[in-house]
Amino acid sequence: MPTSFTVVPVEGQEPEPEPEPAEELSQPPAGSSSWQAGDGIPKESSPFIDSAEMDKGNIYEGKNMALFEEEMDSNPMVSSLLNKLANYTNLTQGVIEHEADEDSKRKEVKAPRMGTFIGVYLPCLQNILGVILFLRLTWIVGTAGVLESFIIVFMCCACTMLTAISMSAIATNGVVPAGGSYYMISRSLGPEFGGAVGLCFYLGTTFAGAMYILGTIEILLTYISPSATIFKAEDVAGETEAMLNNMRVYGTCIIALMAIVVFVGVKYVNKLALVFLACVILSIFAIYAGVVKTAFDPPDFPICLLGNRTLSRHNFDTCAKFIEVNNETVTTKLWSLFCDSPSLNATCDEYFNLNNVTEIQGIPGVASGVLIDNLWSAYTDKGSIVEKKGQPSVSGTEETKVGGLPYVFTDIMTYFTMLVGIYFPSVTGIMAGSNRSGDLRDAQKSIPTGTILAISTTSFIYLSCIVLFGACIEGVILRDKFGEAVNGNLVIGTLAWPSPWVIVIGSFFSTCGAGLQSLTGAPRLLQAIARDGIIPFLQVFGHGKANGEPTWALLLTACICEIGILIASLDSVAPILSMFFLMCYMFVNLACAVQTLLRTPNWRPRFKYYHWALSFLGMSLCFALMFICSWYYALIAMLIAGCIYKYIEYRGAEKEWGDGIRGLSLNAARYALLRVEHGPPHTKNWRPQVLVLLNLDSEQVAKHPRLLSFTSQLKAGKGLTIVGAVLQGIYLDKFTEAQKAEENIKSLMGLEKTKGFCQIVVSPSFRDGMSHLIQSAGLGGMTHNTVLMGWPQSWKQTDNPFSWKNFVDTVRETTAAQQALLVAKNIDSFPANQERFSEGHIDVWWIVHDGGMLMLLPFLLRQHKVWRKCKMRIFTVAQMDDNSIQMKKDLQMFLYHLRLNAEVEVVEMFENDISAFTYEKTLMMEQRSQMLKQMQLSKNEREREIQSITDESRGSIRRKSYSSPQSIGQDVQAVLPDDNPEKEAQLIHDRNTASHSAAVLKCDATATAPEKVHMTWTKDKFIAEKHKNRETNMTGFKDLFNMKPEWENLNQSNVRRMHTAVKLNGVILNKSQHAQLALLNMPGPPKNRKGDENYMEFLEVLTEGLNRVLLVRGGGREVITIYS
């Protein structure tokens, strides 16, 4: 119903200046391809929001609406919006993918004037009625019979009617730009389906051009000028091959001529469309007039029969064996065709001798009752003779060769499904109206009305013609494809009034025009696909002449059309284009069904007479017809479409068109998420859903990209992966950096082939950001159950004062959240996805049971090509009271039940004396703990204290040893979060090093391996040496820190833990130093937070000297089972 608007002026305000014309407003600033106004936030490309014309339009918009002045630069006022809508045409504005809007010099488009009748109805009528109607419909009726022909036509027309209903719904759901059919499919189903179906539609249109050209030549050489043939047949058997060769030669010439016409003067082709349409309509009226005339005055087209066999009248005139001339019996020309001489006693064909020659009327008329004879089918094999049912016939005693005799033969084998494939092209062309949507006055009204009306009209014409042909024409004439029994006349022409030439000339021009239209439309369709940029290798076909004519696309279209010409048989080309059109129609129905079922908010078609069930029925019918026509052509067409789909998915440009397939994916994802929400998965379904915690540098680039490589190797492309990172700051200040970080991580994920999602959190505290990720990453049942992070190599360095605290807190939080934790040490030395290990071991050190994570992870890694050739070894540690032999047997049995192949070894590690090195390591650790606490002094106090020991520190010995566990240089670096922390920490470090240098040097000189320290050092000896050094070097240092570390005063719990770490490290180094990867149980952090820095030291000692280490901490549940 109409809506009325009333404009009420506001008193006391100055009138707004009139807005500038739309074309001036729509011009972006010079040199800007995608200009955005306002706060810089890119918005959806739209003709109404954040458009370039607001640059000039916002001059007048802030006077009366000051409250909204902050939004004026991006959101237009309603007045300017309505002004734009008033100038809105069918060409989209603000969408860069369309040619008309890329040019800022766009000329004003004339208001389209075409209505439903001229713009949609007549073009659809012209495209639907064509070559099949004139050349093959009578033959289909004669072969399949009236009943089965009716079923064929009804199925095909029902298919196009259902497709038209779906297409009408899509076409009325918003403005359809010019060239609408491809646009409708691609924008409804997405770029992958759009490109695949668009190319199928293009191929269908191109092969339709070939079919029309073949029809043109068939009419020319068979009915207009048979003498124009180049290749002549020597006998009847060679006629078919000669005809095909003639069609190839003439077809190549005509396609070249048509391509030149289209290239030079496409506008004349469009102007001639009405002439071609007039020919079609005139021919239809001639047929109906001829049917009416047969009721009272049937035309005289006699047929000559020998027995029940139909004779071809090319080589004789008189339908008789002999005639009386001057009271003398004379043999006819027919006699000489069957006998070896004209004499009456000549040797003749046996069937000729046994049967009489009779002549019947080919068109007995609508009142003759011939309809009863034509109701049933008469399918035959190739080379069979066309015979009349019910006619008396005497067969010979032996089969004789009939190859050279003047019978009417069938040129191909016929059956129901083949006839469906040949007939279906006659109902295509329903999209002719939507293709002209840019020229329509009201496309949303005209397209549904005109298309459905045209399909109804043509369906009535086809169905009525089937009944009328069956009621008027003799069956043998209907089955005579080329009219050989009626002196080479076009069969449908024999029925027409006033003359057969009306149909012949009309069908000739009709097929000519249809071929030109196909050669005009197909290149433009290819150009539209190429300009969309979804198929990279087709982009060259998007270019053309200066006026936009698609030159390269026309050349490719002519070449593809030539393939159809070389096939040369209209009956062979028709099923090919049937496949492509059926696939296109199937996806139109699918698009409508998907949009309807999803109830997308934007799905609001003006055409209301649609339903998802109708669309689904249409889609099913199209799919069934594809396989009914030709199952192997259907498979080939689907294979072509599938290859195009995968190519666009793999190489094509990413387009977001708001398509229904994306909506379908979202709906399916929502449904699946709700299904998996009920509880944790069963142990058999458990797989690591990984949250990867990345650290970013100042350029928002990941510091350790190998974490993503390891993730993809661990996942083998399955399960959920969330890649998270934290930016420190306020989101309002950091949103640009967050977007940049997300883009960098996504590109890195693509490079590393990591399938998953990216999540960036901006938080004032790095610690809080990590906590937020661990708590809230994922959605519903698709949340992570495993956290993967790198070992903080810089936990001792001064530029990362709290990294060890963050790490320990993360360990605690994953434990609290019952999530597994994987910590990769030396992550940069892990293999890339391109590397391949030809040999080596993945060693698992199973100290405590963690739910089976240690068993499962190597199995998953070995599914990837990088680790596939590595063997799995499992080590477990036996204590004093354990039976190591029984442990090994039990472990082997356990692995057998788990279906895992691995070598098993039980390592015995008995209690023994704690080494001097262990005490020294514990001493260093506790000294650092005290120093970290003392470092909380103020800046000025710290500077004064540091200055007091500068002179002593200059002469100290600085020693760093990375190959042995006593790496004093790393162990005693202070953590000072201040202006010049490195210098201050170095002073403390030097001071501490000087106090213990003698002990360490002596230790290095006498021991090469840490576990052998206690063999050369006794406790008393080490204490004496330590006190001696302390007396000479530690006066000022001891006063500063108030440190009195004595071995007797050490925390015995720390000593025991350090002893375990040292001993385990020695055992692991002995067995797994050269392994490709070592997996260890990760001990939990201490319950007392005061010992967190000690915990880091324990882990450092435990993994020292190993190349690649993965510390594994289970999530508190079983992840592997022995049961099926």
Most confident of 189-198, 374-383, 779-788: 374-383
Q: What is the length of the chain?
A: 1124
Backbone angles phi, psi at 934, to 5 degrees: -70, -25
Least confident of 417-431, 777-791, 975-989, 1047-1061: 975-989
Name the H helices within 533-610. 551-567, 570-598
Residue 927 — very low, low, confident or very high, per pLDDT cuts 50/70/90?
low
Tell me the C-alpha distance between 57 and 18, whole Å: 10
- Residue-level pLDDT at 146: 94
pLDDT band with cut points at 50, 70 and 90 for residue 395: confident
Residue that is written with structure tokens 């010995």 in the block: 957
1048 three-class SS: helix
Residue of 321, 380, 384, 388 whose CA lies nearest to 356: 321
657: closest CA among 715, 591, 723? Answer: 591
Mean pLDDT of 889-905: 85
What is the per-residue pLDDT for 1055? 72
Q: CA–CA separation, 283 vs 272, rounded Å? A: 17
**Model confidence at 289, in pLDDT bands (50, 70, 90)?**
very high
915 pLDDT higher than 50: yes
Which pLDDT band holds residue 438 (cuts at 50, 70, 90)? low
Q: Is 502 helix (H, G, I), strand (E, B) or coil?
A: helix
Q: Are strands 357-361 and 328-331 parallel, antiparallel or unpaired?
A: unpaired
* 385 strand-pairing partners: 409
Q: Do the bridges between strand 302-306 and strand 309-310 make them parallel or antiparallel, or are there none, so unpaired?
A: antiparallel
Q: How confident is the model at residue 178 (pLDDT cuts 50, 70, 90)?
A: low
Residue type, 21: P
Least confident of 30-34, 1050-1054, 1097-1101: 30-34
Q: How far is CA 777 from the centre of its chain?
A: 27
Measured between alpha carbons, how far is 717 from 690 in angstroms, rounded to an integer?
A: 12
> Are 582 and 629 contacting, i.e. CB atoms less than 8 angstroms apart?
yes
Tell me which residue of 649, 666, 675 sits closest to 597, measured CA to CA.
666
Residue with tokens 């040619």: 99
pLDDT recorded at residue 62: 46
Confidence at 1045, pLDDT banded by 50, 70, 90 = very low
Query: Which of the four pLDDT bands, split at 50, 70 and 90, describes residue 657?
Result: low
Alpha-carbon distance 1068 to 1066, whole Å?
6
- Secondary structure class of 786 (helix, strand, coil): strand
Pull the structure tokens for residue 1018: 């006794």
Q: Quote the CA–CA distance of 596 and 605 in Å, as a whole number.
A: 10
Residue that is written with structure tokens 């009939």 in the block: 402
Q: Does the structure show a pLDDT above 80 at 184?
A: no
- Between 103 and 883, the higher pLDDT residue: 883
Element containing residue 522 per DSSP (H, E): helix 500-532
Selected residue with higher pLDDT from 1077 and 109 = 1077
Compute the distance between CA of residue 692 and CA of residue 566 in angstroms, rounded to an integer: 59
What band does 912 get if pLDDT is binned at 50, 70 and 90? low
For residue 437, pLDDT over 70 is answered with: no
Nearest CA among 708, 701, 703 for reference residue 752: 708
Distance CA 549, CA 185 (A): 23
Residues contacting residue 786 through CB under 8 Å, at least 6 positions apart: 688, 689, 690, 691, 819, 820, 821, 822, 1115
Query: Residue with structure tokens 């449908």?
Result: 492
Judged by average pLDDT, the poorest of 185-199, 806-820, 993-1007 is 993-1007
Give CA–CA dist 389/372, Å, rounded: 11
Query: What average pLDDT score do residues 303-325 get?
Result: 86
Nearest in space to 98 (alpha carbons), one of 88, 86, 90: 90
Question: Whole-angstrom Cα distance, residue 1113 to residue 851?
Answer: 9
Give tens-digit pLDDT for 686-709.
Answer: 778 899 999 888 888 898 999 999
Whether 27 shows a pLDDT value over 60: the answer reads no
Q: How far is CA 51 from the centre of its chain?
A: 30
Number of other residues whose CB lies within 10 A of the CB of residue 531: 18
The CB-based long-range contact list for 1098-1104 (8 Å cut-off, 24+ gap) reads 1098/1057, 1098/1058, 1098/1061, 1099/1061, 1101/921, 1101/965, 1101/1058, 1101/1061, 1101/1062, 1101/1065, 1102/1061, 1102/1064, 1102/1065, 1102/1068, 1103/825, 1103/1065, 1104/965, 1104/1065
d(CA 91, CA 84): 13
Could you tell me if 917 and 876 are in contact, meaning their C-beta atoms sit under 8 angstroms apart? no
Cα atoms in the Cβ-side hemisphere of radius 13 Å centred on 813: 17
Are the C-beta atoms of residues 1110 and 1078 closer than 8 Å to each other?
Answer: yes
Confidence of residue 273 (pLDDT cuts 50, 70, 90): confident
Query: Comparing C-alpha atoms, which of 1094, 793, 801 is closest to residue 976?
Result: 801
CB 993 within 8 A of CB 962: no
Nearest to 197 by CA among 208, 209, 182, 187: 182
At 1027, the pLDDT band (50, 70, 90 cuts) reads low
Treating both helix axes as pointing N-terminal to C-terminal, what angle do 500-532 and 551-567 enclose, rounded to 10 degrees? 130
Q: What is the largest CA-CA distance in the chain?
A: 158
Element (H, E) at 760: strand 757-763
SS (H, E, C) 417-484: HHHHHHHHHHHCCCCHHHHCHHHECCHHHHHHHHHHHHHHHHHHHHHHHHHHHHHHCCHHHHHCCCCH
Mean pLDDT in residue range 763-775: 90
Ranges of H-type helices in 716-844? 731-751, 766-776, 803-816
CA distance 276 to 278: 5
Share of residues in the chain with pLDDT > 70 (%): 72
Q: How many CB atoms sit inside 10 A of residue 359's CB?
A: 13
Most confident region among 31-40, 267-276, 577-586 by mean pLDDT: 577-586
State the average pLDDT over residues 507-520: 86
Q: Which amino acid is at 956?
A: S
Q: What is the mean pLDDT of the chain?
A: 76
- pLDDT digit string, tens, across residues 96-141: 333 344 444 344 444 556 788 888 888 888 888 888 888 889 999 9
